[in-house]
Amino acid sequence: MEGRGLLASQVVVCCYYWAALERKISIKEESFMQKRKNTTAANNKQIPFGPPSLLFFLSSLLSRMLPTTCILLICLLSSLSPLTKASSLNLTLPHQHPNPEAVAQEVQRRVNASLSRRQMLSLELKEQQQCLIGNPIDDCWRCDSNWARNRQKLADCGIGFGQDAMGGKGGQIYIVTDSSDRDPANPVPGTLRHAVIQTEPLWIIFSADMTIKLKCELIVNSFKTIDGRGFNVHVTGGGCITLQYVSNIIIHNIHVHHCKPAGNTNVASSPTHVGWRGKSDGDGISLFGARKIWIDHCSLSYCADGLIDAIMGSTGITISNSYFAHHDEVMLLGHDDKYLPDSGMQVTIAFNHFGEALVQRMPRCRRGYIHVVNNDFTQWEMYAIGGSANPTINSQGNRYTAPQDQNAKEVTKRVDTNEGDWSDWNWRTDGDIMVNGAFFVPSGAGMSTQYARASSTEPKSVALIDRLTNNAGVFGDPRSSTSVSHPGDDGGGTITDGTNTGSEGSSGGDGDYFGMIFGNGAPPSSSSSSNTIFLSLLIIFILYVTINHGGALLSLPLLLTLL
């Protein structure tokens, strides 16, 4: 509005100035002509061309130049003045935004916000790429710093023959708050025993670090996940964990150690059933006719019998990312050469670290199909992989480091079987690396169809074995530089790998923002000249009509309306 008034006042001043001057010159011209006529009549002679004639000529010229000068001045002001911008002249359209600069600033704000998010996502992607190690299980969930908000995503990360184990996915979260095991026949709510015997799917987590000393074996019902992430959870004592005729179990990130035989007592196996249990063997984790079982990131040691035993037709099993140490008979798959149902057993053993002070059975197999893939065998005293009753063993991408004992360099052992009998067994090594004189004795015809039945996941290159198994066992164990911090009250959590790789960070200042500037600090944009040209021509036309036909004052309202 201020621009309109200024420009209109310029036009008014010019037009009124021109009208007044035109009138004054016209009067002088009439006076001069009358005087000249009188003088001519009196003297009857020609007046020489002199100062009066020059004055008349200049006055006439000025009177004819003033409208043109005024018009040119108006056009010049209209063309050069920034006030002729559309916003100043208020050349609005229907539904036009009243403050386009605010819109431009909002666009810039959103662009910058989007670029900021992009920069953040780029950094997160870079950190995620650094987090990814090629281990398909860990890469599935560990790179999400908010994993604690969606713990059940873990159920989608399984591989191998046990990948269909859903655990307690879809069920409620059960928080163990009481580490006691006072009455196995009538467990107290809030205890681990009370959680695992429930009939509905449950995702069981822990409220704090705790050591659970069992009085007897812990009988777990179907569709349960025991998830120790975020805390240091130990299960020890009598038993320990029994999976008998159940399915869909996930055991993740707990210590199982110093398990001993116990029993000859009543034990609850469901909310409505309590039964007599004989004396257990003292296994760390015992599978008896179980299926769809996944044991991941556990640390097992110092048990009376096996660390993990799977017998009596158990199948659909994955044992992954776990650490085994300080034990004699580590793992048994199949309990009797004559038990034919074990012929259908399928077990995946992947990304584990068989560590210090181990003797044998890593695993010891009877019948079935065993896929041993991308494990690190750093110690054994007798042998690493053994078997009887014609199991199919597919060893791929493992590292076998033999002990110093020259009599224990062989990785394999056919237990209590003549060579004439085992020469047809399908045992193969594919992409394994042998260290310190280790050697694998293969056998069988090498039929691809047979090994296909013992293949459960794509093996990685053995060159990646350190990365693949570096985090084996419970996160945060002293032997490992990896730890999982306890998620805070906001449900978040951080995961560190013990090495501060840092980040290159973003560049200072505005980063990658586009070079757009909006607001008062911006240089004025070049306005379109079409409106200015049209307006100038219209003014010229109106003034021309005024000059030649009069009525200048009547044309002013039209001018002001146009402006």
Q: Is 289 exposed, middle or buried (0-12, 13-18, 19+ CB in 10 A)?
A: middle
Q: Which DSSP category does 15 fall into?
A: H
Helix H or strand E segment including 101: helix 100-131
Q: Could you say which of 151, 193, 361, 399 is catalytic?
A: 361
**Residue 178, token pair as written in the block:** 């009481």
Are 159 and 456 contacting, i.e. CB atoms less than 8 angstroms apart? yes
User: How many CB atoms lie under 10 A from the CB of residue 361?
Assistant: 28
Annotated active-site residue 361? The verdict is yes
User: What residue type is 278 in one-letter code?
Assistant: G
Answer yes or no: are the C-beta atoms of 372 and 394 closer than 8 Å.
yes
SS3 content of the chain, % helix, strand, coil (to 5): 35, 25, 40
Tell me the C-alpha distance between 422 and 524, whole Å: 89
Contacts of 41 (CB under 8 A, 6+ apart): none
Sign of CA dihedral 160, 243, 341, 446: positive
**Spatial separation of the C-alpha atoms in residues 289 and 297, rounded to whole Å:** 23
* Cβ 442 vs Cβ 428: under 8 Å: yes
545 phi-psi bin (left φ>0, alpha ψ -120 to 50, beta other): alpha
Q: Which residue has the tokens 């990785």?
A: 411
- Cα 289 to chain centroid, rounded: 39
CB distance 255 to 235 below 8 Å: yes
Which run of H or of E encompasses 6?
helix 2-43
Q: Map tokens 């780029």 to a residue.
A: 122
SS3 217: coil
If DSSP codes are grouped into helix, strand and coil, which group holds residue 190?
coil
Taking a C-beta distance cutoff of 8 angstroms, is the pair 248, 166 a contact? yes
Q: What is the pairing mode between strands 247-252 and 224-227?
A: parallel
Give the C-alpha distances (Å, rounded to integers) separating 171 from 125, 174, 203, 220, 403. 31, 9, 6, 16, 46
Alpha-carbon gap, residue 261 to 335, rounded angstroms: 18
DSSP string, 420-449: HHHTTS-EEEES-EEETT-B---BS---HH
CA-to-CA distance for 492 and 63, rounded, in angstroms?
Answer: 86
Report yes or no: 244 and 222 within 8 Å, Cβ to Cβ: no
- Contact between 216 and 263 under an 8 Å Cβ cutoff? The reply is yes
Cβ neighbours of 561 (radius 10 Å): 8
Q: What span, in angstroms and rounded, lies between the C-alpha atoms of 163 and 33?
A: 117
Residues that are catalytic: 361
